[in-house]
Amino acid sequence: MDENFVSISALQHYAYCPRQFALIHVEQVWEENYWTADGRVLHERVDSGVTEQRRRTRYERGVMLISQRYRIQGKMDLLEIEQGTPPKYFPVEYKRGKPKTEDWDRIQLCAQALCIEEMRTVQVGEGAIWYWEARKREPVVIDDALRTATIAVIEGAHALLASGETPPPIEDKKRCKACSLVDLCEPMAFRRDHSARYVEDLFSNSAQARDGDE
């Protein structure tokens, strides 16, 4: 992996929480736990690299992706190419869990679409995410709103990697509760320290202001 490039699979971490992205990709505190996750087993299963042709559709698995424009690279689970003029390119990503209301997974799929468009000079209008737990294939439209959100995440991830600084925890406590890095991140301890420091600063600033008035 070129260090000037961001891994496509890392974009969902940034979209979920920039601190989670930094813990994983800057501090690399995750290694032991992260790669033992079920998700990796699932991807190993679908990532056979075998190409198949069924009627008018070719199925390419484990396709390597790169975008020089956005400096992202990675591998996609499945690319379906339906014959036609022009042919229809349809990325499919496999996920362990269930469909989400937030765009985290869709952003990863859209980043794959951006790579395919650049690599094969085509347009990708839609794709799908297959959710293992829900046994459900969720269609995803690669529209302007999703493209804008994805490009913003890519730019944010590049900026964070360039700064090398881990941001503070997000405010969304519910998301922290569901985060696999909550024990390493300790968001509650960080928030406690931060608010204690804030109160200290507040008192010391008012004391300084009082001294200045005397």
* Interface residue list for ligand SF4 (CB under 6 A): 17, 19-20, 23, 169-170, 175-176, 179, 181-182, 185, 187
165 is written with which tokens? 């600084």
> Which pairing describes strands 6-7 and 136-141: parallel, antiparallel, or unpaired?
unpaired
Q: Which DSSP state fits 10?
A: G
Nearer to ligand SF4, 92 or 181 (CB): 181
> Kind and range of the H or E element at 160?
helix 144-163
CA distance 173 to 10: 21
| 21 close to 14: Cβ distance less than 8 angstroms | yes
Nearer to ligand SF4, 50 or 178 (CB): 178
Contacts for 193 with CB less than 8 Å, ≥ 6 apart: none
User: CB 116 → ligand SF4: shortest distance, Å?
Assistant: 30
Nearer to ligand SF4, 61 or 191 (CB): 191
Q: Which DSSP state fits 63?
A: E
User: CB 176 → ligand SF4: shortest distance, Å?
Assistant: 3
User: CB 31 → ligand SF4: shortest distance, Å?
Assistant: 15
User: CB 102 → ligand SF4: shortest distance, Å?
Assistant: 12
CA 115 to chain centroid: 15
Nearer to ligand SF4, 135 or 174 (CB): 174
